[in-house]
Chain A
Amino acid sequence: QVHLQESGPGLVKPSQTLSLTCTVSGGSISSADYYWNWIRQPPGKGLEWIGYIYYSGSTNYNPSLKSRVTISVDTSKNQFSLKLSSVTAADTAVYYCARAPQYCSGGNCWFDPWGQGTLVTVSS
């Protein structure tokens, strides 16, 4: 059973870069069958997809965040990471990592499983 776990600082100062890592256990991140995603949820609000990465390193980002987002993968550690630059209070959210099937880009896209999420607060 695949398990995903987010890790990283819970507090980031405005204008700095938010950095999170998702560690995958119980399965290989190098599988050609999946995309690896980041999704966030501001407190009391809905879900927003941030982007995904394939094991090969190819990425796809939400256009609303594309200029500030970088997702990378480290297959040797079975991890993938998120960097979000120039953060503001609006970036305060619970950040989730999640797996999606490789035909996600073909229009049939779901997230399963999800990590437990990590709250990142942007404040000075």
Chain B
Amino acid sequence: QSALTQPPSASGTPGQRVTISCSGSSSNIGSNTVNWYQQLPGTAPKLLIYSNNQRPSGVPDRFSGSKSGTSASLAISGLQSEDEADYYCAAWDDSLNGPVFGGGTKLTVL
């Protein structure tokens, strides 16, 4: 059981906007920043969003992150076939004194 809760799956058609939620608690999302990772099939995770809503260099602005209270969301607009991947949220957990991950959301582009 992961410390952060994500829906196991999400889907959308090309060009559509999809959102993926991430729910936590006061010891993690509620008091620390949220990061998102994209894991393409058979590859290592890649940083997608850091500090709630910041994009690393090279990440398209189609990807955006937000946080409110003990929940966070990743939004992908203008969905493309190459966005089909697993997406993980993560945050530092004060109780664990370490980072925790969500269980991951498998995004399918129909």
The answer on a CB contact under 8 Å between A46 and B99 is no
CB distance from A80 to the nearest CB of B (A): 17
Residue of A nearest to B43 (CB): A116
Q: At the interface, yes or no: A2 with Cβ under 8 Å from chain B?
A: no
CB distance from A48 to the nearest CB of B (A): 7
Task: Give bound CA distance, A111 to B46, whole Å.
Answer: 8
Q: Is the interface of A mostly helix, strand, loop or mixed?
A: loop
Query: Per-residue 0/1 for B51-69: is the Cβ within 8 Å of any A Cβ (1 yes, 0 no)?
Result: 1000010000000000000
**Could you say which of B44, B51, B92 contacts A117, with CB atoms under 8 Å apart?**
B44
The answer on a CB contact under 8 Å between B97 and A110 is no
Query: Per-residue 0/1 for B4-41: is the Cβ within 8 Å of any A Cβ (1 yes, 0 no)?
Result: 00000000000000000000000000011101010000
Chain A 110-124 residues near chain B, CB threshold 8 A: 110-117
The answer on a CB contact under 8 Å between B44 and A116 is yes
The answer on a CB contact under 8 Å between B88 and A111 is no
The answer on a CB contact under 8 Å between A60 and B101 is no
Interface size class of B (residues with CB under 8 A): 20 to 34
Task: Give bound CA distance, A110 to B100, whole Å.
Answer: 11
CB distance from B94 to the nearest CB of A (A): 7
Q: A46-B104, A114-B46 are in contact. Are A108 and B97 (CB under 8 A)?
A: no
Interface residues of A (CB under 8 A from B): 46-49, 51, 60-63, 96, 104-105, 107-117
Query: Which residues of chain B have C-beta atoms less than 8 A from A63's C-beta?
Result: 96-98
The answer on a CB contact under 8 Å between B44 and A47 is no
Residue of B nearest to A62 (CB): B98
**Could you say which of A62, A108, A111, A115 contacts B37, with CB atoms under 8 Å apart?**
A111
Task: Give bound CA distance, A47 to B92, whole Å.
Answer: 14
Known interface pairs A47-B90, A48-B101, A110-B47; 7 further A-B residue pairs with C-beta atoms within 8 A, sorted by A's residue number: A47-B37, A47-B104, A107-B33, A107-B92, A109-B33, A111-B37, A116-B44
**Could you say which of A51, A61, A111 contacts B45, with CB atoms under 8 Å apart?**
A111
Query: Which residues of chain A have C-beta atoms less than 8 A from B51's C-beta?
Result: 108, 110
User: What are 19 sample pairs from A and B whose C-beta atoms fall under 8 A apart?
Assistant: A46-B2, A46-B88, A46-B103, A46-B104, A47-B45, A47-B90, A49-B99, A62-B96, A63-B96, A63-B97, A96-B45, A105-B97, A107-B31, A109-B91, A109-B92, A111-B35, A112-B46, A112-B47, A114-B46
